[in-house]
Amino acid sequence: MARDHALCLTLGLREGVLRLYQWERPTISFGRNEPAKGLYREDKAEEEGVGFVRRPTGGRAVLHHEELTYALVFPVGAFSGLKRAYRRINQGLLMGLERLGAEVELASPDGPSLRPDAGPCFRQPAEGEVTALGRKLVGSAQVRMGASVLQHGSIILDGDQGLLQGLRCDGGSVPPPATLRAALGSVPSLPRLRRSLVAALEATLGGEWGEGSYTKDEKMAEARLLAHYEDQEWTWRY
């Protein structure tokens, strides 16, 4: 989270950054303003080896396990508005998954606008999110930081997010999300998935693309932000 935040703060003029990554252990991330305090069994999470963190972006709780996380940073004015940017990015993700053979679509504009306290992210899709088999496959959220925007998202490869629900104090059942395994019959290799997503986003968003390494400024900003995202008061602030 500190690294994605740092990329947003240090973004150069007319630049953008795409980062694709996985997590070292199962981790539940909360949306920036999502209620979490007292809603999760922290003792059981520790026994299960599950960590908690709060994202800089909005949205609702996601279990980062058997999934691929994307972070896309871009200037505020790059796509004529944040809502248009959100839709363009999701269209690129849709194209990348279609190229792998998945039958996917964007959730209807008539879909619900979900509150931060509406429960886990993959409970139901919001407008414009990528779905498969009638269920959410990619959950996404944005935040504006000055002249830059960070859009985060989680692409479910396998599993049912059941561990997240099992750690909630309120219990109850939630329909499982769509997965790439269900949509394709198997989980594609990560290099193949990354290549397909990058090519589709490049075609959809335009611009000149190339691989890069983290700059000194990005690393310094990440180091400054690390304590903030490790702070339990931030993680459990709501």
**Hey, which residues are catalytic here?**
121
Tell me, yes or no, whether 29 lies in a domain: yes
Tell me, yes or no, whether 214 lies in a domain: no
**For residue 13, what is the domain's CATH number?**
3.30.930.10
Number of domains in the chain: 1
Tell me, yes or no, whether 23 lies in a domain: yes
pLDDT value of position 163: 92
Contact criterion met (CB below 8 Å) for 155 and 68: yes
Tell me, yes or no, whether 64 lies in a domain: yes
pLDDT value of position 183: 96
pLDDT value of position 170: 86
Tell me, yes or no, whether 235 lies in a domain: no
pLDDT value of position 125: 85
pTM: 0.93
Averaged over successive runs of 10 residues, the pLDDT of the chain (238 residues) comes to 98 96 97 96 96 96 96 95 96 98 90 62 82 94 96 96 91 83 97 98 97 97 98 97
